[in-house]
Amino acid sequence: MTKEEAFELIKKQTIEIVPELADVDIKITDSLKDLGANSLDRAEILMFTMDELELDIPRVELFGANNIEELAVMFADKVNDAE
């Protein structure tokens, strides 16, 4: 999996959880918090993304990400490591 593929998946999950972002140009450098996703929204976005990728990552590992790009890299690395 590439970082870009992971980004598209995170973006899709973000729009599903926070539908008002459907018309927003979500960039890989954006943070979920800055986009207006509250803590519950962010937790759901991460949970549904992990479910779709069939990953079980301790949430603590994801807290260090400052933006969507860093999350995408983490997800892509985890998927690639699992293969």
Cα–Cα distance, 14 to 45 (Å, whole number): 6
Residue 63 has pLDDT above 90, yes or no: no
| Residue numbers of the domain that contains 52 | 3-82
Model pLDDT, residue 82: 84
CATH number, domain with residue 46: 1.10.1200.10
Model pLDDT, residue 9: 98
Total domain count for the chain?
A: 1
Q: Which two tokens stand for residue 14?
A: 């973000």
pLDDT band of 23, cuts 50, 70, 90: very high
Cα–Cα distance, 64 to 71 (Å, whole number): 9
Q: Which two tokens stand for residue 70?
A: 């860093």
What share of the chain in percent tops pLDDT 70? 100
